[in-house]
Amino acid sequence: MTEAAGAETLDAAALESAGAERLRAAQSTEQLAEAEAAVLGKRSPLALARAALGALEHEERKRRGGQLNDVRTRLSLLAEERRAELAGLERRRDLEADRLDLSEVVLASVTAPVERGHMHLVTRTRDALEDVFVGMGFSVAEGPEAETDWYNFEALNIPPAHPARTMYDSFYLQLGEPETVVLRTHTSPVQIRLMESAVAEGSLPIHAVMPGRCFRRDTPDARHLPVFHQIEGLVVDRGITFADLAGTIETFTTAYFGPDIHSRLRPAYFPFTEPSAEYEITCTICRGSGCRTCSSTGWIELGGCGMVDPAVFTAVGIDAASWSGFAFGFGIDRCAQMRHEIADMRALIENDIRFLEQF
Amino acid sequence: MRTPLSWLRDFAPFQTDLATMAATLDELGLVVEGIERVGEGLGDVSVARVTEIGAIEGADRIRRVVVDAGDGAVEVVCGAFNFGEGDLVPLVRAGAVLPGGVEIARRTMRGVVSDGMLCSGRELGLTHDGEGLLILTDIDGAVPGQPLTDALGIEPDVIFDITVEGNRPDAWCMAGIARDLAAALHVPFSMPEPGAGSGVAGPAVETLASAVVEAPELCPRLTVRVATNVTVGPSPRWLARRLLLAGMRPINNVVDASNYVMLELGQPTHPYDLDRLGGAGLRIRRARRGELLTTLDGVRRTLGVPGTGLGETGEDCVICDADDTVVGVAGIMGGESSEISPATRRVLLEAAYFSPMAIARTGKRLRLRTEASARFERGCDPWGIDRATDRFFALLSSSSPSLSVAAGTLDVRGEVPRPVVVPVAVGAVNALLGTALSSEQVTALLEPLGFACTPAGETGESDLLTVAVPTNRPDIRPAPEGVADVAEEVARTFGYSRIDRHQPTWPEPGGLSDRQRDRRLVRQVLFGLGASEAWTPSFVADEDHRRIGLGGPAVEVTNPLVTAERFLRRAQLPGLLRALAYNADRRQGAISLFEIGTVFSMPDDSSATATERAGAGGARGVRLPVERELLSAVFGDESSDARHAVAAWHVLRETLGLVGVRAAQGEGPAGAGLHPSRSAQLVEGSAATPLGTLGEVDPSVVASFGLGERRVGWLEVDLGRLLDRSVVSRRSELSRPVSRYPSSDIDLALVVRDEVPADRVAEELARAGGDLLESVTLFDVFRGASVPEGSRSLAFRLRFGALDRTLTDGEVGELRRACVDAVLQAVGATLR
């Protein structure tokens, strides 16, 4: 290295360290802007050094120009870093300046809105359904929304690859072995949990309804949401019959929908009940005289029900010789849609206040 | 399933009116989704031959057409273009009526008189094609002037569109529906003999073909029959017509016969061109890993590879020729190579019973479901195969008269399901149904369905029946479950609606749990504070979590509906801010919203959510996500901020009577997405259990949701903890006496440094005030000129009193001094 080249390098290095020091010294974004102008601006030593290159020979100009460009790039990066650092500091400072001691809030000075808030229609419907069943002697049970395959399917007499699984298009979670953890497709797993714990605690009989959120991989449309709510019921007691099931369904129907709405059962298939039935009620639109909603039949489908299948009792360890039971289930959102004549179910998830405040 | 009434009448003489039939089918669980009348009102339609087509001046959408109507020429104006001179087409003359009652009038268009109308298939209610005319040129024997119904062999018919439940493969055919319906309507049912032609004896089948089953667990029964001298051609008109009515397209007489048998008897069969099968035989085995086959739908499929789903073992049953080349996915779809073609002369008919689970498994993994696989996976009748193949050859011989059916059947059997026999106590049936049926009644209800009931008891008093289940009813399990299955059959034919209803009662009271009642109360508190309840998505994008600064993993959905939204929410804040923004975009942003819902986090070793209960699919030891039920509220009304959240928390705490919960401000980060110096964690005092957060949303988070520059107050509590009385105690239920003596109020304005929280001052005051202090209330906060920089004036009202006397001025003065001294000592507060 020649002496001259060494001096030049020193020169570039000195420019860089002086610039860096100046930038780091900035304590606010304003100061940083000033420092940037001084270090990287048109009249900065760096700019002047570049301007002075014009007098040099081609090769030399290229070499030193490259050095200075590198310095410039590094200093610009440093300025960016410092800017982010200062912005963070200033934000923290602003937030700190905005401090509020939550305990010095004078409650009497807080003005609450005069308007009352509104209950979500799904909650309102769920509460109303719960109230009817509580009046009929049911308790209310709840359970997790993510379930194992056992609780959601297998204990309900739906083994893996069973064709009935296609009735419940599931969302699977990336946990454990593939497809072993699902978002529950119905609230029936709560029934399994309830029966298992009743067996463990020796606390049979069971008379409970289980409302809750369920998930099926359906594309949302006017009548379906992939996330929806269901309420199911389970009675396990001595001497429970299909006639008890039909009676319970009828009592509930008239209690919830009104005295002129009745129920009927017709054969259906569910893996977890036997005999199984589809549960229909008098069309709430035409009151049974026939209309478009009920395809002129006077009846609309509400849900499914049946006597608990002996295979389910076996899965949870209940002796089917001593106990019998029935189960039923239907959609809470669907009930709300029917009762309040909601054309498009998606209104329930939009959270538009103009919709919410109607209820 | 589209079910023509005429086809049902092959099995039982149904004469009941349609409404009763439909209602009866419904009652049987064979739900009628629709009733369609076909071939009615066609009396005025006849065949005509197009003799002349001419343009009409000034019109390019209509033409003048002259047809020979058999008894002379008729001129019409027609808007269709799919025919030429010489074609046969349907004609309705002026003055006559179309199906549906539309009368055709003589009209003049652009000076041309139209004396009738040429019709499309749709206008006649015969096909769904409304684009052009129904062309009759190729209809065998059709001549001008002939009534259309004669030309097409149409008789008025009724189609019931019936949904058959998944557990009733037996009813997924004409014979099955007819059997149920006949039983319920008390009409005699009979299965007609297959018909002539099935017994034609050719050479022994063994000399023509071979059949081997290497996977008897997957294919418990394989039968192979062969026919030679086959003439492939169109099916007889009546057969093609029935297939069309049932919704299937006729192809050729061999394929049609196979489809017809499936629709009629529920047994899928598969005809192969024997001369295109290598080695002239079939071999059934498991697919080798990665084996390839192009199925009839033209898709190349990889077989024998385990799937990603539960129970997807990759065990596929395939059908090979005798040279071991795969020719079909068993029971699901054949390959292209051995299809029946017009050149086919020798047909090998495969009819088998496959393991329903094997078919379901493969169908699910290949995402391939066919008419055949849907029936096999539900379970066909392993002993109904012979009737089905007899019927196939009988049908084929009617359109292929020189057909020669080889003698005998190659019948390879593994463990074929044997008929199930269920001992059924009539008392148990009555106990399950709540009925009082006699043994004779039960027998009378079951026998028309093909069940054979014999009294099992030695004496006539026993109510035990031995019920032999027909082999087409795989839904009826052996005892003990089978008793419930038989009971369902009894109930079905008896009529669900005829079972008396009874309202059961029990001594245990119903009711809500404490948690459920409290949850309702929490909602009411929020309503009272002007907040409305929202329902925001459980599925969120990674970005939602990042935007509120929530790092770490979220539970991921394997098969999300929307790829980006594949995480289960860990917080409700993003959803609520989105809901606020949705409303703000509609100029209704000044609202408060709350949600009570579940948030999910990754399974946690310390949590008790691990399940040891395992399904056969391997769920053993799987840990479930941690679920927490949160109440989250955003206060976004005009001028709402952390103060509103504080007030809301105060009301909530007082309503629930919570004791010992405090806002731990400045004792660590408050929570993701919150304003660091206007928020606090809510903790249970003694154990410092975190219960929630309180304060304000970070302004940059608010802005990032498109809400601009505004303050949003925030309150969130974990209801699982907050409402758990073993975590947070409640105010005592016992009453406290109220003093009858006047109390004394003292106001203290204290100058306190900003770092000292006001509640710290209040605590000291309370301690110093002792038993005689009834309450401490902060009623004013002042910052300004008369207060030193870095401090503020806090004005407290202290109320003193005693149960047994009025306090003297001296006593009150003493207490005041004690309080002032205490706060000076403890936090350096001075009187202003």
Q: What is the pLDDT of residues A126-148, one digit of tens each?
A: 999 999 999 999 999 999 999 99
Strands (E), B414-524: 421-425, 452-455, 464-468
Judged by DSSP in three states, B512 sits in coil
Contact A103 B762 (CB under 8 A): yes
B438 falls in which pLDDT band (50, 70, 90)? very high
pLDDT of residue A6: 47
Distance CA B368, CA B362 (A): 8
Average pLDDT value for residue range A243-248: 97
Report CA torsion sign: B255, B258, B261, B263: negative
Element (H, E) at A233: strand A227-237
A200 falls in which pLDDT band (50, 70, 90)? very high
Q: What is the C-alpha R_g of chain A?
A: 36
Average pLDDT value for residue range B654-670: 91
For residue range B705-739, what is the model confidence (pLDDT) as tens digits?
A: 999 999 999 999 999 999 999 999 999 999 999 99
Residues of A whose CB is below 8 A from B559: 171-172, 217
B458 pLDDT more than 80: no
Contact A248 B27 (CB under 8 A): no
Could you give the percent of chain B with pLDDT greater than 70? 96
B159 pLDDT more than 70: yes
pLDDT of residue B734: 95
Given B501, B527, B757, which is nearest A119 (Cβ)?
B527
pLDDT of residue A9: 54
pLDDT of residue B617: 45
pLDDT of residue A36: 87
A47 falls in which pLDDT band (50, 70, 90)? confident
For residue range B52-95, what is the model confidence (pLDDT) as tens digits?
A: 999 888 888 899 999 998 888 999 999 999 999 999 999 999 88
pLDDT of residue B90: 93
Does residue A76 belong to the interface with chain B, where contact is any CB pair within 8 Å?
A: no
Report CA torsion sign: B786, B791, B792, B793: negative
Report CA torsion sign: A312, A318, A322, A326: negative
| DSSP class per residue in B21-46 | HHHHHHHTT-EEEEEEEES-S-TTEE
Closest CA to B98 of B113, B114, B71, B117: B117
Contact B432 A242 (CB under 8 A): yes
For residue range A62-92, what is the model confidence (pLDDT) as tens digits?
A: 888 888 888 889 989 999 999 999 988 888 8
Mean predicted lDDT score pLDDT of chain B:
91
Element (H, E) at A330: strand A324-331
Q: Among the listed ranges A105-114, B501-510, B514-523, B528-537, which one has the minimum average pLDDT value?
A: A105-114
Contact B619 A154 (CB under 8 A): yes
Contact A160 B642 (CB under 8 A): no
Distance CA B810, CA B340 (A): 115
Whether B179 contacts B317, CB under 8 Å:
no
B103 falls in which pLDDT band (50, 70, 90)? confident
pLDDT of residue A266: 94
Residues of A whose CB is below 8 A from B680: 102
Average pLDDT value for residue range A267-278: 96
pLDDT of residue B618: 45
First to last CA, chain A: 86
Could you give the percent of chain A with pLDDT greater than 90? 58
Determine the distance in angstroms separating the CA of A72 from the nearest CA of chain B, rounded to an integer.
Answer: 33
B614 pLDDT more than 60: no
pLDDT of residue B589: 84
pLDDT of residue A177: 83
Residues of A whose CB is below 8 A from B27: 266-267
pLDDT of residue B503: 95
**Which residues pair with residue A352 across a beta bridge?**
none
Average pLDDT value for residue range A211-216: 97
